[in-house]
Amino acid sequence: MTFRTRFAPSPTGPLHLGHAYSALLAHDMARAAGGDFLLRLEDIDQSRARPEWEDLIFEDLSWLGVSWDGPVLRQSERLDLYTDALTRLWNKGLLFACTCNRRDIQEASAAPQEGVPTHGPDGLIYPGTCRDLPRTENTSLLPETAALRLNMARALEESGLLKTATNAADPYVFAMFEETGQGPNDETRLIHTSETHLVTGIGDVVLGRRDMGTSYHLSVVIDDADQGITHVVRGQDLFEATNIHALLQRLLGLPTPIYHHHKLIRDDTGKRLAKRDDARAIKTYRDAGHTPEDVRKMVGL
C-alpha cells in the first residue's frame, strides 16, 4: 500500500508552531515512505474562512520546505457530496433533526448523574431532547432549519460493530481503529472502544450544521476517502473524535485509514497553542529572521 497522507488546516487564522509540527511530521513521513503528501483546506465555515489566511498557509508551508502533491482540495467546493452522505444517513433513519440551542442543551444537562461523563469531543454531551420526536416533514427530505444529529445507539447497531465485540455481554467492547502514534493516554496499536463509551461518553454528535450544511466529522471522512488517504497524521486533540470518524466510515462504506496522532505543542505554561496565539505564528518567526531549521528544532524535529 502506498503511503498517502495530508495536512488539513482551516484557513481561519495564522498557522502556529503546532500546525508547523503537524505539517512537517506528515510531510516527512510521506517523503520517507516514498508516498504522497496532500493539502486540503477545511473551509466549510465560510463565516470564518478568509482568502488571506489561505495565502498565508501557502506561504508558510513553502517557507517551511513543505511541498504538496496534486491540487489543493477545498471543502467549500464539495458541499453537494456532504449533502449526499447526509441524505443517505437520514434515509437509513440514523439522523434526527435537533432544534436545541446551546442554552437548551446546558439546561437539559444541568443535573448530571454521578459517574456519567458530561463532556465529549464536541463539548457538552447531547441530553437527547429531540432524539425521539416524530419526523414531521416529508421524511425523505433533510430538514434545512435544524441541525442533524447522529443517533449514536442506532448508528452503532447499524454499523455491525456490536457483532464484532470480544465479549458479547455488557459492556460491548470492540476494535475501532489502528493507531501508530499515541492517544493522550499513550493509547497505541489497535484501539478498542465500547458501546457505553460511544453512547454516553460521545453521544449524538452533530453531522449537519444549520449554518454550513455539514460538519467537520462528516466532511473529514468523505475527503479522506476521496483523496485516498492511507495514513492520517494529526494532533492528539482529535484522537477521541476518531471514534466518530471510524464509525462514520463503516456506515458510509468507506475504508478506515491508519491513524497517527502526535503530541501537541504547548506554550511555556503548558497550555495548548490556539489559533489566536499570534506570538507563535509561523509568520512571526519568519519576520523575526528565524530559519525553517530553527522552527524544526523548536517543535523537536
Contact footprint for ligand GLU (CB under 6 A): 8-10, 42, 220, 234, 238
Of 130 and 238, nearer to ligand GLU (C-beta) is 238
Interaction of residue 24 with Zn ion, rule CB under 5 A = no
Cβ 221 to ligand GLU shortest distance, Å: 9
Name the nearest CA neighbour of 285 among 266, 273, 298, 269. Answer: 298
Of 238 and 298, nearer to ligand GLU (C-beta) is 238
**H-run or E-run covering 150:** strand 147-150
What are the helix (H) ranges across the chain?
17-32, 51-64, 79-91, 102-108, 152-159, 195-196, 216-226, 242-252, 282-287, 292-298
Interaction of residue 98 with Zn ion, rule CB under 5 A = yes
- State which of residues 12, 76, 87, 129 lies at the interface with Zn ion (CB under 5 A): 129
Measure the CA–CA gap between 148 and 91, rounded to whole angstroms: 12
Cβ 109 to ligand GLU shortest distance, Å: 26
* Binding site partner of 5, from Zn ion, ligand GLU, none, Cβ cut-off 5-8 A by kind: none
3-class secondary structure, 148: strand
Cβ 50 to ligand GLU shortest distance, Å: 14
Interaction of residue 100 with Zn ion, rule CB under 5 A = yes
Of 147 and 232, nearer to ligand GLU (C-beta) is 232
Interaction of residue 64 with Zn ion, rule CB under 5 A = no
Distance of CA 199 to the CA centre of its chain: 18
Edge-to-edge strands of the sheet including 231-235? 189-194, 173-179, 258-262, 231-235
Terminus-to-terminus CA distance in the chain, angstroms?
Answer: 26
Cβ 204 to ligand GLU shortest distance, Å: 21
CB contact burial 119-150 (16+ within 10 A = b; e otherwise): ebbbeebbbbbbbeeeeeeeeeebbeebbbbb
| CA dihedral angle for residue 172, residue 175, residue 177, residue 178, rounded to 10 degrees | 150
Of 108 and 238, nearer to ligand GLU (C-beta) is 238
Distance of CA 125 to the CA centre of its chain: 17
Interaction of residue 248 with Zn ion, rule CB under 5 A = no
* Binding site partner of 17, from ligand GLU, Zn ion, none, Cβ cut-off 5-8 A by kind: none
Cell numbers describing residue 53: 489566511
Cβ 55 to ligand GLU shortest distance, Å: 17
Cβ 26 to ligand GLU shortest distance, Å: 9
* Binding site partner of 98, from ligand GLU, Zn ion, none, Cβ cut-off 5-8 A by kind: Zn ion
Cβ 110 to ligand GLU shortest distance, Å: 30
**H-run or E-run covering 74:** strand 73-74
The CB-side HSE value for 111 (13 A sphere, CA atoms) comes to 0
Interaction of residue 130 with Zn ion, rule CB under 5 A = yes
* Binding site partner of 254, from ligand GLU, Zn ion, none, Cβ cut-off 5-8 A by kind: none
* Binding site partner of 109, from Zn ion, ligand GLU, none, Cβ cut-off 5-8 A by kind: none
**By CB under 5 A, how many residues form the interface with Zn ion?**
4
Point out which residues bind Zn ion (CB under 5 A): 98, 100, 129-130
